Structures are given as C-alpha cells and as structure tokens.
Structure 1
Amino acid sequence: MKVQLSVMNGCDYYTIRSEHSLVTLHKGEACGFGLFIAPLCSCHINDKIAVIALDITSGQQITTNVTVNVTTEQSTKLNYREIEELSQIGEGSFGIVYKGTFKNNTVATKKIKNSKEDDNAMMEFENEVNVLDKFRCEYIVHFYGAVFIPTNICMVTEFAEYGSLQDLIKKRKKTDAIDMKMRVKIMLNALRGISYLHDNEILHRDIKPDNILVISPNVNDKVNAKPTDFESSRNVNMLMTNMTFTKGIGTPVYMAPEILKKDKYKKPADIYSFGVTMYECIGWCQAYTKHQFRFPWKIAEFVINGKRVKKKENIPQELFDVIQKCWAQDMSKRIDSTTIVNFFY
C-alpha cells in the first residue's frame, strides 16, 4: 500500500509540509507522519490534510481528511485578511496611506509602491518596521504591526483623526488658529516622543509639522500629539547616509546647517528641526515664505550662513528664547530635549 499526504487548500499566509511525501507500507506495517506548520503571520489556521491510501494490488484508493485547527500567538506580523482599507488619505514618495480597520480599531495602513521593483523603498520600509517594533511609549504613534506577504506589504499604525500639525496649520488660518495653550501642548507632546527616541539612541531625522500627528483637540487629554514617520530614523552611532540636500531637490526648511553642509550629525540635528517646527506651530505660520525665499537652496544658503528668521509678533518671547536655543548654529550650544521638557514644567 502507498500512503501520501496532500494539503487540500493552498495558502499564502502559512506553509504546511509533511516529513514524508509518500510511503510504501507492506502488510502488518505502520508509520507516523510529521506535519510542520510555519505561520508567516499572526493567524488562525483551519485547513484539511488529505490522507490518500492506494492499495497496489486491488487499485482501490481511499481518501480521508485530517483537520488542522490552530491559532498563533498575536505578534506584529499581521494577517492582511484582518485589515480592511476604507479610503486613501495620503501619498508619499515610497507609499500610499489608507484609513482602515484592524480588529475593530481604526488604523492607518501604509502600502509600499512597487515593493518588488524598488529595493530602496523596501529597505526603508523594513527599517521603519524594525524601529517602530521596539517602541513602547505613549508619545510615539502606536504600531500594530506589518504585513510581509509579498502581494500585500504594508504597515499598520494608529490613525490620527485630526491629521498632522501641518494639516491644521493649512486648514485653520491665523483667525481660526488653535489657542496658544494647545499649541504649546502639541509641541510638548512631540518633544516627549523625541526625548524617548534620543534616550534610546535613535535619531528621527525628519522632524517637521507633517510628521507630528494630532490625536486629540482636547487640551485636558494627556496626549494630544505624537511624532510619526520613522523611515529615516537611525541609530545615533550610524554615519549619515541619505539625508543630504541637493539644489532643487527636497526641502531644507527643517534641516540643520550641519546636514546642509553634509557634515556628520547627531541628536542636535533633531533639536534644530524641532526648533523650526516649534516656530511654525507657535507662530502658526511658515518659517520661510516663497515671497522671501523663491528657491529651496536660498533657504540652505541663509541657514548655512548662520541667519535665522525673525520673531513673529504672536510668538511669546520666552518661547522664542527656547526656539533660538534649539536652532543655534553651533550644534554643541543647542539645548537638549530633556532640558526643554523641564522648561515647560
């Protein structure tokens, strides 16, 4: 008699194999089959294995099914079948962001564009996933996990109903701006997230209003805003790689002078970016207007030469003093994140 095991239903989120694909048994003999199940994500597996026995003498074939019913532990490797995309809410150079649901939670899903063809995009995606997976901080956007199934690669994070700080500044002009207390709270929350990164020797490298999500408009809530977008984040001990500025490419608005000069940089570069972001949030304005700076490289030249934009009338002097300490030309003279947090308290 010949005995064979066969998986009845193919699946892309787990694999099943047997120790022996085909066994020949003589009269009075028996054998055991070992099944090896390899989940590719957190999932529930309910499948059937066909056990096919063929009597060589009579030619009679008997088929019976063995049910495999197991559930994995929950991890950050997600099953794409549990994620529902509702609507597109944003698009960047590497991916498209959708509003969706995951296990009854409203989430943001970020899908990679051309992940098969673009090795750089996939590398940035994997870096962001690795960074987010280590974070355990209420002031950092919550990371549910990521899908690594080749046809459905995406990451799933907390959804910010109110969008980014940049969205708020654009939508609500000065006459309808959120009050100063809330602006300060948003900056303090973002700073706590940045401080957590720095305490763990991580540089964000792309701090700007676009990358600060507004979670709640209620100033009495503990958390109102969180940093997001960790594609560019790196360990503080790594050398600079791709954060460089070329005339006409990208925006140097939030880049520290040492980055614009392509020098090595560390935590103070994030503090500089935070300073410009704080200027825009507290002043409810653009730091560099197109009227004053028609081309991006004009901003770079302005900053490299040690110049900074002037104080806006609506920025309190004590807060502008903090901003100036953040964007000091000499990185060694910039205030650190912990000192700024202590200032607010």
Structure 2
Amino acid sequence: MAQLSRSNSFPLVEPLVWNPWVEPEEVTLEQPALGEGSFGIVYKGRLRGSTVAIKLLINQQLDDDGLTFFKREIQILGGLRAPNIVLFLGACCEPGHYMIITELMPAGDLDTILSSRKINLSLFIRMKMARDAAAGMCWLHQNKPQIFHRDLKPSNMLVDRDSYLIKLCDFGLAAVKGTGSGPDGRGSTPGTPTQSRKMSPMSPNEIGKHPAIGTPSWMAPEIMRSQPFTTKADVYSFGIVLWQLLTRHQPFAGLEEHTAIFDAVCNLKQRPKIPSNTIPALAALITRCWSQDPLRRPEFGDVIPVLDEIIVESAIENHDGSEFWKKHFLTMSEVPWSAFWNAFSEIIPEDTVTDDNVEIFYQLLGITPATSSNIEPKVHIENFGKVLSWLPGSLEELLPSFKKLCSQPWFFGFLDAIRAGEILSGNIEGTFLIRFSVRQPGVYTVSIVEHGTVTHSRISRESEEWVYDGMRDRSLIQLITKVKDKLKRPCPGSPYAITQKEKSTVYLYDE
C-alpha cells in the first residue's frame, strides 16, 4: 500500500461553514474595560449569545501599515488551534469598528496576577504556568510556517481562573517566517480569512530589516540592535518571563527609558538578579534562555522537558522524594493512590508496610475517602512534598518517623490557629501542643498558653536542624525536651492514638 505524503494525500481544504467576519451590530461591549494595551482596549462582551473578550483597536483610523498588522494578527490567530493559545472567534474589519474577538479568560492576564500579593501562587503553580507558556511558544515555532511572537511578556498571557492554565494572546506584532507560501502552497493558512490571503508572510530578511519591535524589558539584544533574528529572540523573552514567575518582580524596574535598558542589556550585558536559593536547574535554564548569544539559547522543544523536572522539584524539595516522583510520575500532578502506593511500597522496608502505617500515610497525604466506588482517591504532588518537608530524611524512614512523631502526646497534626486556640482554652499555664504550620510547609507551630492567652510561634529548620526558642537539634522530639522549662505540659486530647488503645481518623488537609 502506498504511503500517503503531502504530495499525494488528500488536498488541504478550507472550512466551508466557518466565517470569521463579524458585523459591528452583533457585538455588545460591557463597561468598564478589562484592560488596555499599546494598540487596543479589551472588553468583556457578548457575541451571538456567548460571553467573549473583545479587543477594540485604540486607533480606528488605520493607515496601510496599521491595517497590515491588524490583518496579520487575524491571519495568525485564525489559523491557530492549540491548548495554550487563546481561541480566536472572529473579527470586524469595518473602518471605525476594528476589533478582534476571542474566548474570555476571566482571571485576566498573568502580569496582573503576579503583581497582586493577595493571590497566593506556589512555585509549583508558577512553574506549571511557565510550562504552559513554553508549550504555546513551541506550537508557534514548530508551526509551518514558523510564527514569531515578538512581544512575549506576562501581560500577553491569559490565565484560566480554575486551573491556572496559561494561554498566549496578542499577536499584533507577530511575524510569519516564509517567502509567501503558506502550508497549503497558496500563500495562506487554512481557515484564515479570504481577505488576508493576499498577505505574504514576512521573510527572515524582511524581519531583520524592521526597527526594534516589542517591549524593551523583554526584548532580545539582537532585536534592540535591529539585527536579523530567529525564534531564539522569543526564547530570550521567555527567560525574562521565567525570572518574573520565579520572583514576582518587574524586570529592570529601576530603568524607565528605552535607552537605559538598551545600554544595560546590549552593552553591559546585565540581567535581573536570580535569587541565590533558586532551584539550580531553574537558575541554569533562565541563564541559558536569556544568553547574549542566540545560539546558546535552547529551543522551546528542549525547554519543556527541563521544566517538567523543575515542576517536580518545586513541589518536592526533598531530593529522594523528587527523584522518586520523576522516575514514576514525571509530568503528572496527581496519581491514583494504588499506583502511588505500589511504587512507594517497593522502596520502604517490608516490616513498615502495616495496616496502621498505611492508614497513617493515607491520612498524612491529605487523602479523603472516595465518594464513589468508581472514583479512586489520588495523591497530589504538593501534598507529598509537604509531608517530606515536615519529615525530612530518606523515604525508607518516612513511615517509622511519622509513627514515632504520632506517639508524642503533644503532637496534634494539622490544625489552624483558631482551632488550636479553642483546644488550649481553659488549660493551665505552659500547656502546649505542636502542629504542622498551615501557612508554611516544612515548619511546625507551637501553640502554648502564656500569661492567660494562647500564643503561636514557629519551629523552623536551618542547616538540617530544628530551631526553637534559641535551642537547636537534629531531632524534633529531642528539641522539645530541651525546652521543657517553657513547654511544661502537653495538651490532653491528641487525635493520634498510635500508642494508646483508642484510635481516631484525622484528615490533615482541608478539602
């Protein structure tokens, strides 16, 4: 049987029913605007019974160049269907009503989210965002013909409210590599508007001749110098974005003028400072992405597998734990309990695999009973990372260590400050309990009755030692004995009954 190829397969055809053009009267805008960029104002609105996002161009009197850029954005968006690229729904090209309609991402753009200290985003979530952005860029760069974004930055990345999924948007400055032939050989991309078929994609030489285009703080040195560039210019921008996802700071914040940023990036070869406690693989990736030499920057196809491992390390700081997850569950954020336990039970001593230990571990991982016999409970990577941060050491020692901790009368597991205060209320001076810190994994909290009130203070970990009230010890249990003059009386009623006759079920995480 002959193998199909592009030359002898069915010819590529354009959709017969999809028409991207929208009449102005079909669109309803809602005030106030959601945001404003250099070229357009974005509104929430309605189109054909659906809630959508509408980018209304600020300048409605487009000259030939402006109209070319506008149509190019429609052409590019209209031909893209990818999980990490915003979905194009239509456009209006009538003078005075120039607009582009896309799906609405209610959470807004990444820049706004990173700037808000009210929004708590773990490094794990932020690195997943980075992977989403890299996947979107990989799709563009591996498209035929290649697409250059040329303005990659957090404000051009939209965020899903529930999953924090990232989708790339704003292709107003994007360019297409080629000499006039699209993938169908006719100078167009299948599914793009008829009016835009006469547009030829920009050739590499044409791109290089254009003046610096983009936003200075994210602009690659070769673009600042108006030199020819490749897809590696987008990789540079991604390096800056990756640094922002790490630090939640604005790049080159002290430099306002374009000339100052140009001098810092191009002449002095300066970059934002990477924090010293950054995951080594992440620091190395950022450094490679924003390298002065484009040839030293990786392709997005090579960035993604590196980020897969960084995502695991961001959720699980324990080296053995992260290597375990990479080996068995790389690219997975949560796994069925049975799959997790089958893999985990292979590396722990056989004599620790008891019903009591399994039940304790089940609870410790924040697993609640399944609501249906058809739904298997799952282990989330961040919960596993939290467990290992509270119980450092080898994976083989994890269950015995936790069982020993549970045998201490002062250990209450997962409580918030309010509940701890309620439990301690009415107890005598010096009565205390120790619990997992709600806000900071890897830290314990001491709640104690002092001077008639309940106070809370942390037991932190420094250089492989637990630290509290000026005392240090590698063992948490030994540390508590060192401060018995202050911690005088364990609070009665610990929910753990490992060494007692009674047992109770305690779930350590809020649903």
Other-structure match for 1:264: 228
Q: Work out whether 1:312 is the aligned partner of 2:275.
A: yes
Q: Distance in 1 between matches of 2:91 and 2:111?
A: 26
Letter paired with 1:95: G
1:154-233 mapped onto 2 (5 Å cutoff)? 154-172=99-117, 176-200=119-143, 201-218=146-163, 224-233=165-174
Shift of 1:90: 2.1
Shift of 1:116: 3.3
Shift of 1:217: 4.1
Q: Work out whether 1:341 is the aligned partner of 2:323.
A: no
Q: Distance in 1 between matches of 2:297 and 2:242?
A: 14
SS in 2 for 1:85: strand
Shift of 1:236: 2.7
Q: Distance in 1 between matches of 2:211 and 2:130?
A: 24
Shift of 1:117: 4.8
Contact 1:112–1:121, Cα closer than 8 Å, also in 2? no
SS in 1 for 2:76: helix
Contact 2:265–2:271, Cα closer than 8 Å, also in 1? yes
Other-structure match for 2:290: 327
Letter paired with 2:280: Q
Other-structure match for 1:89: 34
Q: Work out whether 1:278 is the aligned partner of 2:242.
A: yes
Shift of 1:329: 0.9
SS in 1 for 2:158: strand
Letter paired with 1:134: G
Q: Distance in 2 between matches of 1:271 and 1:162?
A: 25
Contact 1:258–1:264, Cα closer than 8 Å, also in 2? yes
Other-structure match for 2:318: none
Q: Which has the higher helix share?
A: 2
CA deviation profile, 1:213-237 (whole Å, cap 9, x unmatched): 1123436xxxx01111001111134
Other-structure match for 1:15: none
SS in 2 for 1:107: strand
Contact 2:43–2:54, Cα closer than 8 Å, also in 1? yes
Other-structure match for 1:54: none
Q: Distance in 2 between matches of 1:217 and 1:297?
A: 40
Shift of 1:96: 2.1
Shift of 1:258: 0.7
Shift of 1:318: 1.6
Shift of 1:314: 5.7
Other-structure match for 1:299: 261
1:92-131 mapped onto 2 (5 Å cutoff)? 92-131=37-76
The CA RMSD measured in Å over matched residues stands at 2.1
Shift of 1:78: 2.0
Letter paired with 1:233: A
Contact 1:244–1:259, Cα closer than 8 Å, also in 2? yes
Shift of 1:126: 0.8
Q: Distance in 1 between matches of 2:277 and 2:154?
A: 18
Q: Work out whether 1:79 is the aligned partner of 2:23.
A: yes
Higher relative contact order (CA closer than 8 Å, sequence separation 6+):
1
Shift of 1:203: 0.4
Distance of aligned partners of 1:317 and 1:272 in 2 relative to their CA distance in 1, 3 Å threshold: same
Contact 2:34–2:43, Cα closer than 8 Å, also in 1? yes
Q: Distance in 2 between matches of 1:120 and 1:294?
A: 28
Q: Which moved more, 1:139-148 or 1:76-85?
A: 76-85
Letter paired with 2:124: K
Other-structure match for 2:212: 244
User: Could you tell me the TM-score, scaled by structure 2's length?
Assistant: 0.48
Q: Distance in 1 between matches of 2:57 and 2:133?
A: 26
**What residue ranges of structure 2 are gaps of 5+ in the alignment?**
1-15, 179-202, 309-511
SS in 2 for 1:343: helix
Q: Distance in 2 between matches of 1:296 and 1:195?
A: 29
Distance of aligned partners of 1:122 and 1:304 in 2 relative to their CA distance in 1, 3 Å threshold: same
**What residue ranges of structure 1 are gaps of 5+ in the alignment?**
1-71
CA deviation profile, 1:181-227 (whole Å, cap 9, x unmatched): 110111111111100000011100000111111123436xxxx0111
Contact 1:95–1:113, Cα closer than 8 Å, also in 2? yes
Letter paired with 1:208: K
Which structure 1 residue ranges, 4+ long, deviate > 6 Å from structure 2?
none
Other-structure match for 1:42: none
